[in-house]
Amino acid sequence: MKLMDVDLWEEIFDSLSRNKARSFLTAFGIFWGVFMLLLLMGGGKGVQSMLGQNLGGFASNAGFMIANTTSKPHKGLARDRAWTIDLDDVAAVSNCVPEVEVCTPSIRRWGATATADNRAIGVQVSGERADYIAVEDPKIRIGRGLNAIDDAQARKVCVVGSRIVTELFPDLGPDGDPCGRFIKVDGVAYCIVGVSGKGENGLTIGGSATTIVHLPYSTMQHTYNRGKEVDILCLTAKSQVPMSAVQTKVESLLKRRHLIHPDDTQAVIKVNTEAVFSMIDSLFVGVSILVWMIGLGTLIAGAIGVSNIMIVTVKERTTEIGIRRAIGATPRNILVMIMAESLVLTLVAGMSGITFAAGLLHAVERGAGEEGFQISFSLAVGAALLLSLLGLIAGLAPALRAMNIKPVEAMRED
């Protein structure tokens, strides 16, 4: 018996369409399983990539050190002493901790107001050197980023977040180019040279990335009279070196330089993206384990349903199979027939599940305007292969049962 014989297909179709409601309900189990599995996988992947975009811009091995009041007396100094990181610390860290790739200072001002043409918006001001880009990429959308010359000459230039542009210059439209225009922050005018492309939900230090005014470090230092003070000491580690290890070294260096008790756990605040990234990673590992459990569970339940129904069908068809055996069907013929039926049922249902899931994910992508939800082609192929396997396994029990039907059954009177 040839597998591609039209008759085999005709028989499969015949026997499946003889009991349409039952075939449909059986198929629905498989359909739903595949649909859920792929939809959840696609959804999880999409959310992950959206989160990834929000984290985007930050180096995955970035670390930040912030000064805080001390909690222990040390060398004659009382507790609760305020101290600040300064530019000498930046130089010292660069020189003394070899695992540090980039060490750059950042100063901040919260609650400032930017104005232009009688419009105003609350902003955060951040002063940063050109090498800050190694820590956080502003993802310049229009214009250019801040460079070393801006810093050296203390130019009054700025890179602004996208909301600042839309709020202060509504005449430009959403994608207009504000470069060359001036905004006033705390009474000082700065020329816009670039617009950051970071989104509303982006991970930032202090406030939304869309309302940050980035100034050259020296400009901000002079304008706000900050002297050598540094609000945030920003670090990136050399590759393969964990940021937490680097931060421990930097912390003890800072403590030595500022006469802080070595066991003081409060005086230096350490934040690193490593922890954030690994937390999100493990979150998604958990999510995907859940997705696989739910999806595969549903799918296996569907396959068991197919197997069950096929066993019932085989029982109902005992006489028919007996007749076939009596007029010359070999056990193998019967086996192939039942297996093929199960396979076709599973594949048709599963393929529609794949198609529906892909369609829905496509709609989600269009609706949300975000990429990354759609399942990959190889995943779809993998799902189809898994379905074939499930179909064969599901068909095995009923097919073996059918195979063992004796031709004598044809003689039995019903």
Instruction: Write out the binding residues for other proteins, residues 17-46 only, by CB under 8 A.
Output: 18
**How far apart (Å, rounded) are the C-alpha atoms in residues 171 and 32?**
50
Min separation Cβ 409 and other proteins, Å: 9
**238 touches other proteins (CB under 8 A):** no
119 binds other proteins (CB under 8 A): no
Sequence-ordered list of residues with C-beta below 8 angstroms from that of 166, at least 6 positions apart, any chain = 172, 174
Q: In the beta sheet, which residues pair with residue 270?
A: 65
**Side-chain half-sphere CA neighbours of 369 within 13 A:** 0
Q: Are 306 and 34 in contact (CB under 8 A)?
A: no
Q: Using the rule CB under 8 A, is 3 a contact of other proteins?
A: no
Query: Apex CA 244: angle with CA 289 and CA 261, to 5°?
Result: 140
- Of 320 and 365, the one with the shorter C-beta distance to other proteins is 320
Using CB under 8 A as the binding rule, whether residue 368 contacts other proteins is answered as no
Residue 374: other Cβ atoms inside 10 A: 18
Closer Cβ to other proteins, 260 or 339, answer by number: 339
411 binds other proteins (CB under 8 A): yes
Helix axes 20-55, 273-316, angle to 10 degrees: 170
Rounded-to-integer distance, Cα 135 and Cα 234, Å: 7
- The Cα 106–Cα 48 span in angstroms is 29
CB count within 10 Å of CB 323 equals 15
Taking CB under 8 A as the binding criterion, the range among 1-9, 256-264, 290-298, 358-366 that sits at the site for other proteins is: 1-9
- Residue 191 binds other proteins, judged by CB under 8 A: no
Binders of other proteins among 298-357, rule CB under 8 A? 319-320, 323-333
How many CB atoms within 10 Å of residue 153?
A: 12
Nearer to other proteins, 255 or 317 (CB): 317
**Where does this chain touch other proteins (CB under 8 A) — which range of 3-11, 130-138, 264-272, 295-303?**
3-11
Distances (CA, A) of 42 to 32, 338, 380, 398: 15, 34, 11, 34
Binding segment toward other proteins, per CB under 8 A, in 2-10, 128-136, 188-196, 345-353: 2-10
Measured from the CB atom, is 11 or 365 closer to other proteins? 11
Segment near other proteins (CB under 8 A), from 169-177, 243-251, 374-382, 405-413? Answer: 405-413
Which is closer to other proteins, CB of 15 or CB of 298?
15
Q: With respect to other proteins, which residue has the nearer C-beta, 155 or 324? A: 324
Q: How far is the CB of 339 from other proteins (least distance, A)?
A: 17
The only residue of 154, 348, 351, 410 in contact with other proteins, by rule CB under 8 A: 410
Q: How far is CA 165 from the centre of its chain?
A: 28
Quick check: helix, strand or coil at residue 267? coil
Total residues contacting other proteins by CB under 8 A comes to 28
Q: Round to whole Å and give the CA distance between 46 and 362.
A: 11
Nearer to other proteins, 14 or 117 (CB): 14
Indicate whether 263 belongs to the interface with other proteins (CB under 8 A): no
Helix axes 20-55 and 6-18, enclosed angle (nearest 10): 100
Query: What is the binding site for other proteins (CB under 8 A)?
Result: 1-2, 5-7, 14-15, 18, 319-320, 323-333, 406-408, 410-411, 413-414
